[in-house]
Structure 1
Amino acid sequence: MARIDNDRDRLIFALDVADADAARALVVQLDDAVTFYKVGLELAMAPGYFELIDWLKARSKKVFVDVKLFDVPATVAAAVKRLNARDVDFVTVHGNQSIMEAAAAARTGDTRILAVTALTSLDRGDMTDLGFDCDIGDLVLSRARRALAAGCDGVVSSGLELERLRAEAPDTLVTVTPGIRPVDNDAPPDDQKRVMSPRRAILAGADHLVVGRPIRQAADPKAAAEAIQTEIAAAVAERLASR
């Protein structure tokens, strides 16, 4: 388990909304129930993206920039340098060895580079369509090994592959797990295919859980976030007790 000063930082809420105003309204509504926010591609395409990041940091929130940088290494390095200036906490990169190495070499301060392994919206059939004739678990392990060799700080991985990953990864490796769905979640089906509950993901070895729709679409988003925080805290205690 990677060292985390505040266990409430384990929950990362996905600010997957249309614009910065809607994002700010959600942050105010969630208040102290959420300390860590993911700002991704949808917001990156809207005006005020960098101003939103600055606003979150001014409110002492942690920021995960999930833009999955994938370009020539020099361009990726330049993008990471721009984000360093914003004091962001996590940045995702999605590319080959030279791309990951460029991102890792460009980071400064407390910014951490996370390599995407396999999107949780993909299943075995999707991987075959993409030309990957391999088991998803094997691909995730291979990507994680290469990310570590490139100097990345962690990986984004489905909870379904975490136990195998944790068996050989150092404790310092940061693991961020999307596709989290509470057991009692009654939200409509979505594009996530490889999902896991908060408790199971923490017990499997996740350090951070990315949750979006189960909180955003809840009748009371703050209460939904607090319920997940409670489940995470109990699972962390259970994991530590089992050592």
Structure 2
Amino acid sequence: MTSETSLLSTRAVPPRERLIAALDVPSPDDARRLVTALGDAVCFYKLGFELLMSGAYFALADELAGAGKKLFLDLKLYDIPETVGRAMRSLRARRAQFVTVHYGARVLEAACRERGELGILAVTVLTSIGPDDLRDLGYPAGVAAEQLVIERARRAFEIGCEGVVASPLEAARIRAAVGPKLAIVTPGIRPATAADDQRRVATPRAAFESGADYIVVGRPIRDAVDPRGAALAIQETIASVFA
């Protein structure tokens, strides 16, 4: 461990459940093949937009839940509050741990009112967003993504969200601003140095030592020559961090 040990998550989560593998593949069959290849190396999966467009998203989600897997439904819901509330009511029957909702105070309030047992994760600022993107969205030149993330994380906590999705580079500041009760789920995890189209990235160890509770790993596992081996290597890192 490092001098940043005090930032480590104190949530009662088994270390192996802190790795969420992203099923960012085009079809349920591709997802099943990856899940089979990973075996017991991964017990928590994220299902995102690509699978949603396959037409069998919820059938696959139910299948994975029935097999004892934990689920993160990365739907990034965003609409008027009433519509998001109705969507949450429909999602209650799904045996998922997390569902994402794009930041918006009234939208998050509606989602939290109707969540049932689902944990709402507020999407603060996408990890692909950089300064040029913020300017395109109409923010003044002086506004940084990190500033928006902290402000939105604090508000999401006040509203009652289970956690936030945020870059590992902002995890420490979120933890300092909000404390240990808000779950921090971090995408943009790269065991190697390649950052591809994600702007704000970190290694698994760095993410956890910065305060992340869970990490989401996609391409480094999915595209590995040995996906199971890649996942096990990350699990070994997690076990050492939380030893």
Instruction: Report the TM-score range of the alignment, normalised by the length of the smaller protein.
Output: over 0.9
DSSP 3-state at the match of 1:13: strand
Gaps in structure 2 of 5+ consecutive residues? 1-8
Q: Which residue of 1 aligns with 2:175?
A: 166
Task: Show the 5 A alignment for 1:204-215.
Answer: 204-215=210-221
The answer as to 2:27 corresponding to 1:13 is no
Deviation of 1:2 (Å): 4.7
Give the one of 144, 151, 156 matched to 2:153: 144
Q: Which residue of 1 aligns with 2:53?
A: 45
The answer as to 2:238 corresponding to 1:232 is yes
Deviation of 1:81 (Å): 1.6
Deviation of 1:5 (Å): 3.2
CA contact (8 A) 2:129 2:145 kept: no
Q: Which residue of 2 aligns with 1:80?
A: 88
Task: Show the 5 A alignment for 1:1-243.
Answer: 1-109=9-117, 111-133=118-140, 134-183=143-192, 190-237=196-243
Question: What amino acid is the match of 2:232?
Answer: E
DSSP 3-state at the match of 1:132: coil
Deviation of 1:13 (Å): 0.5
In 2: Cα distance, 1:150 partner to 1:234 partner: 34
DSSP 3-state at the match of 2:242: helix
Distance 1:2 1:102, change over 3 A: farther
DSSP 3-state at the match of 1:64: strand
Deviation of 1:34 (Å): 0.4
Higher relative contact order (Cα pairs below 8 Å, separated by 6+ residues)? 2
Deviation of 1:19 (Å): 0.8
Question: What amino acid is the match of 2:176?
Answer: A
Give % identity.
Answer: 52
DSSP 3-state at the match of 2:216: strand
Q: How many residues align?
A: 233
Question: What amino acid is the match of 1:209?
Answer: I
Gaps in structure 1 of 5+ consecutive residues? 238-243
DSSP 3-state at the match of 1:218: coil
Deviations 1:135-179 (A, max 9, x none): 211100111111112211110000111111111213111000000
Distance 1:131 1:2, change over 3 A: farther
**Aligned residues: CA RMSD:** 1.3
Stretches of 4+ moved more than 6 A in 1?
none
In 1: Cα distance, 2:230 partner to 2:97 partner: 24
TM-score (norm: length of structure 2): 0.92
DSSP 3-state at the match of 1:85: coil
CA contact (8 A) 2:103 2:152 kept: no
Deviation of 1:129 (Å): 1.7
CA contact (8 A) 2:20 2:216 kept: yes
Question: What amino acid is the match of 1:80?
Answer: M
